């Protein structure tokens, strides 16, 4: 089992550990995502039908929508949110959603920005542990 360490920029701090779910395309957390179930519902999304609950969610970016923070906060409230969100670029809406959820519900979900190169090295199923300062320890999944 190989493990490595990388550092990500912190948009919202939190400690988390979970299995990676890697999204191939941007996701709208409002409209493309069901905050009641944590399931991706965007008809055009390659991971449609997947559930983000409990996963270390890694995606290129969120599709801009004023409703993004609500989608994230509502999923966290219902316990169907990801344990962490790492994006390819900084995103105020995602960070604010996680921040408000932390204030209202006491659940801290790290929101991070990861280099493209670091993102490219990850696979769904890898295990990631995140510290509050953005240090990530990655344990690669075993492939048979």
Residue 50 appears among annotated catalytic residues: no
User: Phi and psi (nearest 5°) for 122?
Assistant: -100, 150
Which DSSP string corresponds to 33-51?
Answer: EETTTTEE--TT-TTTT-B
Nearer to other proteins, 20 or 113 (CB): 113
CB of 84 to other proteins, least distance (A): 17
> Dihedral (C-alpha) 79, 33, 104, 88: value to the nearest 10 degrees?
100
- Please answer whether residues 29 and 35 qualify as being in contact, where contact means their C-beta atoms are separated by less than 8 angstroms: yes
Cβ closer to other proteins: 70 or 140?
70
Q: Among residues 2, 4, 65, 124, which one is catalytic?
A: 65
* Residue 11 interacting with other proteins (CB under 8 A): yes
Pick from 70, 107, 140, 141: which binds other proteins (CB under 8 A)?
Answer: 70
* Shortest Cβ 43–other proteins spacing (Å): 9
């Amino acid at each position: 089992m190989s493990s490595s360490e990388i550092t990500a920029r912190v948009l919202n701090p939190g400690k988390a550990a979970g299995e990676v779910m890697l999204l191939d395309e941007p996701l709208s957390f409002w409209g493309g995502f069901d905050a009641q179930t944590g399931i991706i519902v965007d008809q055009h999304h390659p991971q449609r039908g997947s559930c983000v609950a409990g996963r270390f969610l890694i995606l290129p970016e969120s599709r801009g929508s004023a409703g993004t923070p609500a989608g994230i906060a509502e999923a966290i409230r219902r316990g169907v949110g990801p344990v962490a969100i790492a994006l390819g670029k900084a995103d105020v809406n995602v960070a604010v959603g996680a921040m408000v959820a932390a204030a209202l519900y006491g659940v801290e979900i790290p929101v991070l920005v990861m280099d493209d190169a670091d993102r490219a090295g990850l696979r769904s199923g890898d295990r990631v542990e995140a510290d509050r300062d953005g240090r990530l320890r990655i344990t690669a999944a075993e492939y048979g």
